[in-house]
């Protein structure tokens, strides 16, 4: 007979802190699913068109200038940018999962190095596509995406520096900022779609020079970065109302993200997937 005394299972209390944490987990779960949907789109849309040698069919997905006849260097730069984008979309989520960091530290280190290198390649390549290849509809919006690219370089440098110096808390904070700015272009697509559904496309134009088209590339990285800082402040704060306000803001953010993802999947991604 067992001599252990059966104790009733301990019930977890709902507190402002646990609500805040739950809102963060909810947002991250939706975002992680959205990252995998984006990856599926990238692979499903570009691999069949590239593997079959029908490069001109890249443009079917609605690009500014993807495949350009005779520009082999630009085309190579474009397709390497796109295919490596699939890697960061999968790897970023894996890097932030605590279970992977704890159980597979070597995997975390190697994927982290590859992630940093690819993020830098994407940022530099993206800036070259915009300003050298001329892939832009208007300069102000292009400047917004360029700022995001520059922030990728800055946050990647801090993430690496703190990791090498074993300042793990600072490394984690910068890695989260890096994750958000690397996903700036993903937030841009999701943000556009959420706004288009909620407002009926207010401020958007086909030639991409409406007010929404111009501010969205800036908001796509500014809003997530500000929310991350506030979330961390609320988590470390003793103020219960602050925690509750932030929990509601992040939960609303999760709903907006889900709405934008639904729109992006239905209108931008799934119609272009061939496999
Ligand atoms: C780091 C994460 C990034 C990811 C995951 C990513 C993803 C993509 C994808 C999937 C495309 C193909 C377009 C499509 O099929 O929707 C694309 C194109 C492009 N990206 Fe990125 N990108 C990233 C970073 C950047 C950055 C930082 C810039 C600029 C500074 C940039 C500039 C561009 C440009 C100019 C194109 C061509 C768009 C067109 O021809 O219409 N990307 N990117």
**Residue 2 reports pLDDT greater than 50:** no
Alpha-carbon span 161 to 116, nearest angstrom: 12
Task: Determine whether the shortest distance from the Cβ of 130 to ligand 1 is under 6 A.
Answer: yes
Separation CA 186–CA 192 (nearest Å)? 10
- Radius of gyration (Cα) for the chain, nearest Å? 21
Q: What's the whole-model pTM score?
A: 0.93
Quote the CA–CA distance of 94 and 152 in Å, as a whole number. 18
CA distance 178 to 159: 7
Q: Is the CB of 246 under 6 A from ligand 1?
A: no
Per-residue pLDDT at 274 exceeds 50: yes
Tokens of 88: 């960061």
What distance in Å separates the CA atoms of residue 94 and residue 35, rounded to the nearest whole number? 11
Q: What is the mean pLDDT of the chain?
A: 95
152 vs 182: CA distance, rounded Å: 6
The residue to mutate among 81, 140, 183, having the most atoms of ligand 1 within 8 angstroms of its beta carbon, is 81
Ligand 1 atom nearest 42 alpha carbon: 10
CA of 126 to the centre of ligand 1 (A): 6
Residue 5: per-residue pLDDT: 55
Structure confidence at residue 1 as a pLDDT band (50, 70, 90): very low
Q: For ligand 1, atom 17, name the residue with the nearest CA.
A: 82
Q: What is the 3-state secondary structure (H, E, C) of 87-131?
A: HHHHHHHHHHCHHHHHHCHHHHHHHHHHHHHHHHHHHHHHHHHHH
- Indicate the Cα dihedral angle 79, 82, 84, 85, nearest 10°: 170
Which amino acid residue places its CA nearest to atom 28 of ligand 1? Answer: 126
- 242 SS3 class: helix
The predicted pLDDT at position 132 comes to: 97
In a mutational test of the pocket of ligand 1, which residue from 66, 124, 185, 274 has the highest number of ligand atoms less than 8 Å from its CB? 185
Best of 122, 152, 269 for a ligand 1 pocket test (most atoms within 8 Å of beta carbon): 122
For residue 9, pLDDT beyond 70: no
Backbone angles phi, psi at 141, to 5 degrees: -65, -40
Helix ranges restricted to H, 97-238: 98-103, 105-131, 139-164, 168-182, 184-199, 211-236
The closest residue, in CA terms, to atom 29 on ligand 1 is 126
Q: Answer whether 50's CB lies under 8 Å from 86's CB.
A: no
**Is 125 a pocket residue for ligand 1 (Cβ < 6 Å)?**
no
* d(C-alpha 62, C-alpha 209), whole Å: 16
Residue 7's pLDDT is 63
Ligand 1 nearest atom to the CA of residue 46, by list position? 15
Backbone φ and ψ for 10, nearest 5 degrees, come out as: -75, 130
Distance 85 CA to ligand 1 centre (A): 8
132-145 pLDDT per residue, tens: 999 999 999 999 99
Only one residue has tokens 């474009």, namely 78
Is the separation of the CB atoms in 260 and 194 below 8 Å?
A: yes
Instruction: State the distance from the centre of ligand 1 to the C-alpha of 135, rounded, in angstroms.
Output: 10
- Element containing residue 80 per DSSP (H, E): helix 72-96
- SS3 at position 83: helix
| 65 Cβ inside 6 Å of ligand 1 | yes
- With 70 as the cut, is the pLDDT of residue 153 above it? yes
pLDDT at 187 over 70: yes
């Amino acid at each position: 007979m067992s001599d252990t005394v059966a104790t009733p299972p301990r019930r977890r209390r709902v507190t402002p802190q646990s609500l805040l944490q739950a809102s963060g987990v909810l947002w991250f779960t939706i975002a992680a699913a959205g990252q995998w949907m984006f990856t599926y789109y990238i692979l499903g849309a570009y691999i069949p068109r590239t593997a079959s040698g029908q490069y001109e069919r890249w443009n079917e997905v609605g690009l500014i200038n993807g495949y350009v006849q005779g520009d082999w260097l630009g085309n190579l730069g474009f397709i390497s940018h796109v295919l490596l984008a699939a890697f960061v979309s999968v790897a970023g989520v894996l890097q932030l999962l605590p279970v992977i960091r704890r159980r597979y530290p070597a995997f975390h280190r190697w994927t982290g190095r590859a992630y940093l290198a690819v993020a830098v390649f994407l940022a530099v390549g993206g800036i070259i596509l915009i300003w050298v290849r001329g892939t832009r509809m208007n300069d102000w919006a292009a400047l917004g995406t360029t700022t995001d690219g520059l922030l990728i370089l800055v946050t990647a440098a801090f993430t690496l520096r703190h990791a090498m110096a074993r300042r793990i808390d600072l490394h984690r904070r910068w890695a989260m900022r890096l994750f958000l700015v690397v996903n700036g272009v993903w937030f841009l697509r999701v943000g556009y779609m959420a706004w288009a559904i909620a407002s009926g496309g207010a401020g958007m134009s086909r030639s991409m020079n409406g007010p929404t088209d111009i501010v969205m590339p800036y908001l796509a990285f500014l809003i997530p970065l500000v929310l991350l800082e506030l979330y961390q402040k609320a988590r470390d704060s003793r103020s219960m109302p602050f925690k509750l306000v932030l929990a509601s803001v992040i939960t609303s953010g999760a709903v907006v993200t889900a709405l934008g993802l639904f729109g992006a999947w239905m209108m931008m991604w799934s119609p272009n997937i061939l496999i």
